[in-house]
Chain A
Amino acid sequence: MSGESTYTPGNGLTRWLDDRLPVLRLVNDSFVDYPTPKNLNYWWTFGGILSMCLGIQIITGIILAMHYTPNVDLAFASVEHIMRDVNYGWLLRYIHANGASMFFIAVYIHMFRGLYYGSYKAPREVLWILGVLIYLLMMATAFFGYVLPWGQMSFWGATVITNLFGAIPIVGDPIREWLWGGFSVGNPTLNRFFSLHYLFPFLIAGVTILHVWALHVTGQNNPSGIEVKDPAKDTVKFTPYATVKDAFGMSVFLILFAYFVFYNPNGLGEAANYVEANPLQTPAHIVPEWYLLPFYAILRAVPDKLGGVLLMFAAIGVLFVLPWLDTSKVRSARFRPLYRQFFWIHLVVCIILGWCGAQLPSNVLFGSDTQIGIYDTRGEALEAVTTAAKEQGLSPEDDFKVEEHVEDNKLEFVASRVDFAFDVTDLSRILTIYYFLHFLVLFPVLGLVERPQSLPSSISESVLGKKAATAEA
């Protein structure tokens, strides 16, 4: 589909340049004459939106780095200096902080679009793998960046994540100390995270170039999932068709972006990160940023730490082998009646996993108790629990609970036996199992048992077919 170059230099200067460095030819073939399927919908504008996000993050980030100080004693104050004394510093910082969230909103839509329309399938495996690699780099970059303001969540988030590496047998501890540059998260950690936070976006930019290159070799997938047969009928030129459509998509996306920056700039963040890091005071509830929550839920779903870490990385790792797990001959879910339903179920599972990641694992979602009695002091209630536990041969810690209530401005302690309790951890476990089931079992099986609907014979026919149906209606 990339085909032969259609570029003809218009004047002497461009002809001269074209013989020496055909950069204008590259731009023309990639972003002007490049044929795009004519049936692309607005879910296809997120590639452009993501490039815009990367650009915004790099530009605001470079300026922020001019004013930021990566030192444990100065970092928090330097961020507040940016917010107060740097010209438009508040704007730069709020764009950059919310820009990370916007970047992830866009990448998740982009990825789920790929999953829905089968964009990872042959011949686009390398394109997909490069995309997953970009996603991994994005998560690392966002994590490094979140540590830089040196608030409580920065510090404790960094502590929790780096401690994961301590779960690796034998070499875990040395690796962790090597990451920290000491015996805990401290100044060397902050310094290297700053350095890496500055480096990684350029790695993302590099892999993005490969991603776009791979895209332009295979050509874009499209909602029908069938390949371009006749470029003259099935495709339109990138410019102006895709350019103007992408620009419209970007402008709508920027409206959402601006809402957060100007009217809800801390809505996606944690209040605790406005408290300066204090290694001696652990926050009551350590949570990562929203875009990492599903993986955090998977991590906590496993009772064993190493198992949790492995499963969490496997949740991303499985995406790399997706092209070979899918046995379906048809790409687009539009023509896959079974997969189409499981796609939505899987999306909902991912979102609820994210919700689980934000809750306390022990929060009971539903259950049933048998009340033993109401007491004036905790001591009496605990005594009653101990007696009941001994009588019934149960564990006083696991099978009973004591709750505090205020009734008519009087404190009372309700002791009860827990007959059944389904908590956040239980839900996370079920959803984690489903997450892997979806890729490891449903992907290979669905392709074999599903009977796909009949495909249109060409992209142009699929467009015309839809038009005709609308006209008829």
Chain B
Amino acid sequence: MMKTMIQSVLGRRAMGVVMAGAVIATGFAFGVQPASAASEAHEPEAIDWSFNGPFGTYDKSQLRRGFKVFKEVCATCHSAHLLKFRNLAEEGGPAFSEAQVKVIAAEYTIEELNGDGDMEERPRLPKDPFPSPYANPEQAAAALGVAPPDLSVMAKAREGGPDYIHALLMGYQDPPEGREMAPGTHYNPYFPGGAIAMPAPLFADQVEYEDGTPTTLDQESQDVTAFLMWVAEPKLEQRHEMGFQVLIYLIALAGILYFATRKVWSDVH
């Protein structure tokens, strides 16, 4: 009797689960692949980011440190044209004050049409975008050989996301013996193909942190990566917060509807 019951349970209800399990197992079996021809990119180390998980939030001091690295190191070559100065004071970000943002923005200038129809330079305001180091990708390519990609959504635009960026920044090393690097490329096993045009951008003690955090390479690259994640996903904190409320609501609703369904169907036989 027990056996028939298990069979009927398997046959009707759990068959889907069993099948899904079988499929996943097959997937894993096939996933184990023999050595591939090209030297494969290394797997980035998984970092325990403060913004990971359903309750993850940005570490505000880390974002401020990351902004410093971004401003002083990355932004000398890379643009992040979707970042506006006002974002730095918005909720869920590095929490600079509005006054601080005005000062930061005023460090840069922007050209604008004036009333006489001429271009006129003025200090940047919180509403303005963070300045790009080059006027266009062509100019950047002429100066650097290859145009550096825009960093606005970089943390979402690569497989591995923030883990990948952190690993890449830390991953510069001497190429293995016998590997010839094309001119203008640098060996980094985390970069697909291993040859990246960007020279190692970040070193220990390259920036000075105001909050006294040690400026190891690991610390600096984690900070700037967290900052880039915020630039790419500025609404992450709101999203996590609302998600929790929505899930609590939906689970309660599903519970009520479950008992309502049982009640309604109790007279059917």
Residue-wise interface mask of A (358-378) relative to B, using a CB-CB cutoff of 8 A (1 in contact, 0 not) = 000001111100000000110
- B269 — which chain A residues lie within 8 A by C-beta? 463-464, 467
Contact of A304 with B by CB under 8 A = no
Task: Point out the residues of chain A lying under 8 angstroms from B119, CB to CB.
Answer: none
Contact across chains for A252 and B157 when beta carbons are under 8 A apart: no
Contacts of B145 in A (CB 8 A): none
Which chain B residues border A83 with CB–CB below 8 Å? 235
Partner of A355, one of B8, B30, B242, B250: B30
Q: Is the CB of A77 within 8 A of B82?
A: yes
Question: Given A94, A248, A265, which contacts B258 in the complex, CB threshold below 8 Å?
Answer: A248
- Please, which residue of chain A has its CB at the minimum distance from the CB of B232? A274
- Are A377 and B178 in touch, CB under 8 angstroms? yes
Q: Which of A90, A244, A405, A473 contacts B5 (CB 8 A)?
A: A473
Residue A241 lies at the interface, judged by CB distance under 8 Å to chain B: yes
B27:A241 contact, CB within 8 angstroms: no
Contact B22 A348 (CB under 8 A): yes
Q: Which residue of B lies closest to A250 (CB)?
A: B257
With known contacts A91-B242, A258-B250, A473–B257 Cβ distance under 8 A: no
CA–CA, A411 and B194, complex, Å: 13
Q: In chain A, what residue has the closest Cβ to B260?
A: A244
Contact A364-B34, Cβ < 8 Å, known A241-B264, A344-B15, A467-B269: yes
Query: Once bound together, how far apart are the Cα atoms of A116 and B247, in whole Å?
Result: 32
- A377 vs B238: C-alpha distance in the bound complex, in angstroms? 54
Provide the A240-274 mask, 1 if CB < 8 A to any CB of B, else 0: 11001101100110110011011101100001101
The yes or no answer to A451 lying at the interface (CB within 8 A) is no
B107 within 8 A of A: no
> Which residues on A sit within 8 Å (CB–CB) of B48?
none
Residues of B within 8 A of A329 (CB): none
B1 cross-chain contacts in A, Cβ below 8 A: 473
Query: Does B26 count as interface, using CB distance less than 8 angstroms?
Result: yes
Query: Would you call B250 and A240 a contact (CB within 8 A)?
Result: no
B30 CB contacts on chain A under 8 angstroms: 355, 365, 427
- What per-residue 1/0 map shows which CB atoms of B237-269 lie under 8 Å from chain A? 011101110110011011001101100110011
Q: Is A293 an interface residue (CB 8 A)?
A: no
Cα separation A288 to B72 with both chains bound (whole Å): 39
Q: Give B38 Cβ to nearest chain A Cβ, in Å.
A: 7
Contact of B250 among A254, A348, A364 (CB under 8 A): A254
Give per-residue flags for A296-324: 1 if the beta carbon is below 8 A from chain B beta carbons, else 0.
00000000000000000000000000000
**Which chain A residues lie closer than 8 Å to B179 at the CB level?**
411
Interface size on B, residues (CB 8 A): 59
Q: Does B123 contact A (CB under 8 A)?
A: no
Q: Would you call B23 and A348 a contact (CB within 8 A)?
A: yes
Please tell me if the beta carbons of B176 and A80 are within 8 angstroms of each other in the complex.
no
Across the interface, name the chain B residue whose C-beta is closest to A351: B23
Q: Is A158 an interface residue (CB 8 A)?
A: no
Closest-by-CB residue of A relative to B242 is: A262
Q: Are B37 and A402 in contact, with the CB atoms below 8 A?
A: yes
CB pair B33–A265 under 8 Å, yes or no, is no
The secondary-structure label for the interface of chain B is helix
B159 contacts partner chain A, Cβ-Cβ < 8 Å: yes
Chain A: which residue is nearest B153 at the CB level? Answer: A274
Asked whether any CB of chain B lies closer than 8 Å to the CB of A236, the reply is yes
B234 beta carbon closer than 8 Å to chain A: yes
B212-247, CB under 8 A of A: which get 1 and which 0? Answer: 000000000000000000001011001110111011
In the assembly, what is the distance between CA of A415 and CA of B48, in Å? 41
Cβ of A331 within 8 Å of any chain B Cβ, yes or no, is no
Asked if B122 CB lies within 8 Å of chain A CBs, one says: no
Residues of A within 8 A of B37 (CB): 401-404
Q: Decide: B261 and A245 in contact? CB cutoff 8 A.
A: yes
Are the CB atoms of B39 and A406 closer together than 8 Å? yes
Whether A84 and B26, one on each chain, are in contact in the complex, defined by CB atoms closer than 8 angstroms, is no
Given contacts A258-B246, A271-B158, A409-B174, 12 further A-B contacts (CB under 8 A): A90-B239, A91-B239, A254-B250, A262-B54, A262-B246, A271-B156, A274-B157, A366-B34, A404-B37, A404-B38, A411-B176, A427-B30
16 A-B pairs with C-beta separation under 8 A: A80-B82, A84-B87, A248-B258, A254-B250, A271-B156, A271-B158, A272-B157, A274-B232, A352-B23, A355-B30, A364-B33, A405-B35, A406-B176, A409-B177, A411-B178, A427-B30
Q: Which residues of B contact A (CB under 8 A)?
A: 1, 4-5, 8, 15, 19, 22-23, 26-27, 30, 33-39, 54, 82, 87, 149, 152-153, 156-159, 161, 174-179, 192, 232, 234-235, 238-240, 242-244, 246-247, 250-251, 253-254, 257-258, 260-261, 264-265, 268-269
A-B complex: 4 closest residue pairs judged by Cβ atoms: A262-B243, A274-B157, A411-B178, A248-B257
